[in-house]
């Protein structure tokens, strides 16, 4: 399950003056609608987002990056605004961060090291092994590449003590949903809200 990282106060601040404007809302065929919505603070280009809904595709462009999301059937802004974040993320087809639209977060790694990893070491009575490798593990948290190298440099028997036989499942522990993807999700929700208010 995805966890969102942007504080609600930032969302409120960033989108406080944003208004949604429908540029195009046109039926192209029986099962295809084209809707283009600008979402920004009027009179500025700050935090601008453009949502293009073409049948079952949503394309997002603007100051918060670009991505394409795809559903199996046609969607509208109301449907998109009701999507959960996990569901929305699962529909990403392409983005600057790849199809999964994820990024490395060293804070998530530190939470894992001080939380789950430490708990497992305590439960398995291997705190000496945990402490022996703690500095190396913490120093390797800044990228996925460093993290993998750091874990793989620990002797196999010690990795088994710390994380069990399936320690390799923790190689991507720092991969989290992109903040830009989260901003897309919040943006579409706020744009739909703005359109309901002005309707």
Residue 198, burial from CB neighbour count under 10 angstroms (0-12, 13-18, 19+): exposed
Give residue 101's pLDDT: 87
Give residue 163's pLDDT: 86
Furthest CA-CA distance within the chain? 67
> Residues of the chain whose pLDDT is less than 50?
1
Domain extents in the chain: 8-103+177-198, 106-173
Residue 20: phi and psi, rounded to 5, are -95, 135
């Amino acid at each position: 399950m995805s966890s969102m990282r942007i504080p609600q106060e930032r969302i409120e601040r960033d989108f406080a003056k944003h208004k949604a404007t429908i540029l195009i809302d046109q039926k192209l065929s029986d099962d295809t609608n084209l809707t283009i919505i600008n979402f920004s603070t009027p009179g500025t280009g700050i935090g601008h987002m453009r949502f293009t809904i073409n049948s079952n595709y949503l394309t997002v462009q603007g100051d918060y990056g670009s991505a394409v999301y795809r559903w199996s059937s046609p969607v509208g802004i109301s449907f998109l605004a009701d999507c959960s974040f996990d569901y929305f993320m699962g529909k990403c087809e392409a983005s600057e961060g790849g199809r999964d639209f994820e990024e490395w977060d060293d804070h998530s790694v530190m939470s894992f090291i001080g939380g789950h990893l430490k708990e497992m070491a305590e439960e398995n009575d291997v705190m000496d092994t945990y402490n022996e490798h703690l500095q190396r593990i913490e120093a390797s948290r800044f990228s996925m590449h460093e993290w993998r190298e750091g874990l793989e440099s620990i002797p196999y028997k010690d990795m088994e003590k710390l994380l069990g036989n399936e320690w390799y499942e923790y190689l991507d522990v720092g991969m989290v949903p992109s903040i830009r993807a989260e901003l897309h999700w919040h943006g579409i929700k706020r744009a739909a809200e703005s359109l309901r208010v002005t309707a």
